[in-house]
A and B are shown apart, each in its own frame.
Chain A
């Protein structure tokens, strides 16, 4: 079969790093082709070249037998390429129809467009109300906006960048049905992911990238997940060692916490209750935007809560701010590394002071002890294998994985009673992720209580003792992780968020 798109020898270098080195592969019409690789392997750069956002330094692309060199996304769209971004290219204050129109070359008037959106979205089992404001939609619905935007232009090739990271298992099933239907109609799909099981279920071919080069091409259905993982990472990975832990007394308990959202498009926490015990890892799953940030902010003390809702070792700490909570032993590491957990322009020493000033005694009568702060930062760097020339360097100069190790290490080394982390390994390479998970398990073994908020179900299944999930600000009652089925987990996450009702194939 003649390929729809053929890439040969694509190379793109940035100062200090070759993002893509001589990458070649081909995609046939109707094929679902996986692009597999770790964070930083060069997947994004590659698809940005296909979508016209980035121009290759060398190499060629051929689309339908014609040389293809899109100078801009407009050109790529005109040539029949559609792309669904991982970080949605959506505008929260605008409605669905306006968002769709912005991604089209020659959109019809908005009223006609709304009709088309209704029609196409029901055809593919992804119903959408064209007049709703995108800021009010769930993550799954937002993804639909992106998909519909592409489908309205009859793409020959649809690029999907990590599409399932915002979906519940049930929603993933619906998406896969849609993608298979599209493929059957002849649309080629380039499916980018690092989730191996998904790729084995969905894709017919896989190109595996490591550090910018193609290390293998294979039929993922014929390989084990372990094989694929080793190809992707380059070495055999060992699962974190979590044995030898005993669950002790309750440490942190949240009781019937209800809190209105603090920002526009925020989530309200509704009647949230849970308890974490010493030596235990509590996993909190859920799709992005269901109250994760709000829950972390209430636990870290950024948003104090009314009395009677939050207790640490029996003491009501709801009204206390972050400093008091840290002194009492409740530490936290938010999701956003740059700008929340750490100040990008500040040095690692200054970032160590950010949360460690109280428990490490880095200030005397308000005056900072920079020597002690540097020593503490150096300890974090050494014990957590943070790759940096030294603590005087700015946080933003570190790679994502290294900065995350620093952030987690900064909290772990303060010997917390309870540590709350949000997305501890998001966007981090596999080796760093394994080290971070191991550190969390070690901390639990030493008797701390750990709360891991994560959208990565594989991660929670690996390290959590008990599991619960956030869904529209509500928290399901925690269950022991062992014995939970994927189906049950999916229902705790909100199932298909009422989307399955409308799922009509054809």
Chain B
């Protein structure tokens, strides 16, 4: 094995790129879960975003339009989930699974004509002074806009949830929907909005995979990223800042194992490939073992259906 072939600067720089799809999806799901809704369809929304973004970017030649299309497409799909769970009060676990299964199917159908095509490139920022800094420049200041957008989104979600009235209401709805209803808040509407936001974020994450990280379209290319995003929300105990930590930690492992594979490490390739999933499971175990803390931070109404009684 040739460890010297791993360049730590490039490793850290690609870490941010590897983490971004999951960061986007997880921060969206965080908002959804804070509103008391468990949407297990993140994987399905991500892959739908991946193909919507890819198709729009290829057809229009504009990656920006691609990301926009991805956000819209996935938000639209998430509204199917919202309609089923919020209006028809279907079981959230089952509906989330249905969303994932349907998303995998429909994306593959939509992607028929796009296999093997190269998408238009998403330009990296070239900041006059910052990007040229040694070490820090390539790691922090030479990415595309979406990387910074995702960081801004984390900050925005943190601020929105903890410092604004809208965020307080959203948390209240996720905590006790009956009480929120009794005080006159529109539980169904607020949750639907949260679900759509989560869908848009997952779509952006998916598009980042197909337009930047890979970049091309293949069936099932999200390969569990949506599920890992769900796990990161648990890992983060429903806190925005820790979603960032979780996603970057995961990004680090993903990049490291790829680098080790490339460097010809004397560890079976399959073991390296499964390491992100194993690490995610291990982290989940550690986080959920402390029952009282897990219970304190989890939104109390998570996954429960709401129907305004008489």
Contact = CB atoms under 8 A, between A and B. Distances in A.
Interface stretch (A86-94, A338-346, A498-506): A86-94
B168 A93 contact: no
Given A73-B182, A93-B300, A264-B295, A101 B168 contact: yes
Interface in A20-65: 45, 52-54
Interface stretch (B62-70, B171-179, B193-201, B251-259): B171-179
Contacts of A87: 178
Interface string A66-79: 00000011100100
Interface in B271-310: 292, 295-296, 299-300, 310
Contacts of A72: 184
A19 interface: yes
A107 B165 CA distance: 9
Contacts of B185: 102
B140 interface: no
Given A14-B310, A54-B310, A94-B172, A89 B182 contact: yes
A73 B182 CA distance: 8
A103 interface: yes
Nearest to B293: A264
Nearest to B296: A264
Contacts of B129: none
Q: Which one of B295, B299, B310 has the highest number of Cβ atoms from chain A below 10 Å of its Cβ?
A: B310
Q: Which one of B175, B180, B300 has the highest number of Cβ atoms from chain A below 10 Å of its Cβ?
A: B175
Interface string A282-302: 000000000000000000000
A45 B310 contact: yes
Contacts of A14: 310
Contacts of B310: 14, 19, 45, 54
Given A90-B176, A94-B175, A85 B182 contact: yes
Contact of A73 (B169, B184, B292): B184
A98 B165 CA distance: 9
A94 B178 CA distance: 15
Given A14-B310, A74-B184, A91 B296 contact: no
B183 interface: yes
Contacts of A77: 184
User: DSSP class of A's interface residues: helix, strand, loop or mixed?
Assistant: loop
B182 A101 contact: no
A1 interface: no
A102 B169 contact: yes
Q: In the complex, which range does the number of interface residues on chain B fall in?
A: 20 to 34
Contacts of A53: 181-182, 184
A263 interface: yes
Contact of A263 (B165, B180, B181, B295): B295
Contacts of B179: 88-91
Interface string A94-110: 10001001110001000
A62 B126 CA distance: 67
Interface in B27-67: none
Contacts of B296: 93, 264
Given A45-B310, A107-B165, A91 B172 contact: yes
Interface string A174-218: 000000000000000000000000000000000000000000000
Interface in A223-262: none
A243 B171 CA distance: 54
Shortest 10 CB-CB distances between A and B: which pairs?
A73-B184, A89-B179, A89-B182, A91-B175, A264-B295, A74-B184, A72-B184, A91-B176, A91-B172, A102-B172
Interface of A: 14, 19, 45, 52-54, 72-74, 77, 85, 87-94, 98, 101-103, 107, 263-264
30 contacts: A14-B310, A52-B184, A53-B181, A53-B182, A53-B184, A54-B310, A73-B184, A88-B179, A89-B176, A89-B182, A90-B179, A91-B172, A91-B176, A91-B179, A93-B171, A93-B175, A93-B296, A93-B299, A93-B300, A94-B168, A94-B175, A98-B172, A101-B168, A102-B169, A102-B185, A103-B183, A107-B165, A263-B295, A264-B295, A264-B296
Given A89-B179, A93-B175, 17 more contacts: A53-B181, A53-B184, A72-B184, A77-B184, A88-B179, A89-B176, A89-B180, A90-B176, A90-B179, A91-B171, A92-B175, A93-B299, A94-B175, A102-B169, A103-B183, A263-B295, A264-B295
